[in-house]
Structure 1
């Protein structure tokens, strides 16, 4: 699809589309979403933030987990002299 049509369907300008293509960090996420919508790829946007698909993030999180968790024993309740 020509860039002019993508820009028109995304309600943005061709220079903004060039900034997206160049990886400019100043372009808002809403513009990215509009371009993905124009290209029919908006469904993939949700997968970008899916923690279950972030193997690096999951590995870092598992490194921060304690190696062993010690469970406390329940305290015994001592009976009083009168049987209560």
Structure 2
């Protein structure tokens, strides 16, 4: 796993722990609300990448932040795909410009040969 991704998971886990503590919820109570064991909750709060996404989603729901999940991989935010689309559009534009220039040259050649 890339270090930046691991760091992001660790921060998310720590932030979830802070959210739990700010709500004055114990590990036992919060784990029951999540439907997991206390050790699993501790793994979540430590940023363990092996914790299931459903558990993470439920934790986000408990703090009212699950709505953001639907935007995490939304196509309009996929910079890699957007960059690829732009490169393809540029290549297509170049191809069309070349074809148009060739067509003009062919017309000129034909018109020049008919005179």
- TM-score for both structures, normalised by structure 2: 0.48
Unaligned residue ranges in structure 1 (runs of 5+)? 74-84
CA 1:66–1:23 in 2, change beyond 3 Å: closer, same or farther?
same
CA 1:19–1:29: 2 relative to 1, 3 Å: same
What is the alpha-carbon root mean square deviation over aligned residues? 2.7
Structure-2 residue corresponding to 1:61: 84
| Cα distance change of structure 1 residues 54 and 66 upon mapping to structure 2, 3 Å threshold | closer
> How big is the shift at 1:26?
1.0
Residues 1-23 of structure 1: CA deviation (Å, up to 9, x unaligned): 22523322111122212211222
Q: Work out the number of aligned pairs and report it.
A: 72
CA distance 1:64–1:36, shift in 2 (3 Å): same
* Consecutive unaligned residues in structure 2, runs of 5 or more: 1-22, 101-115
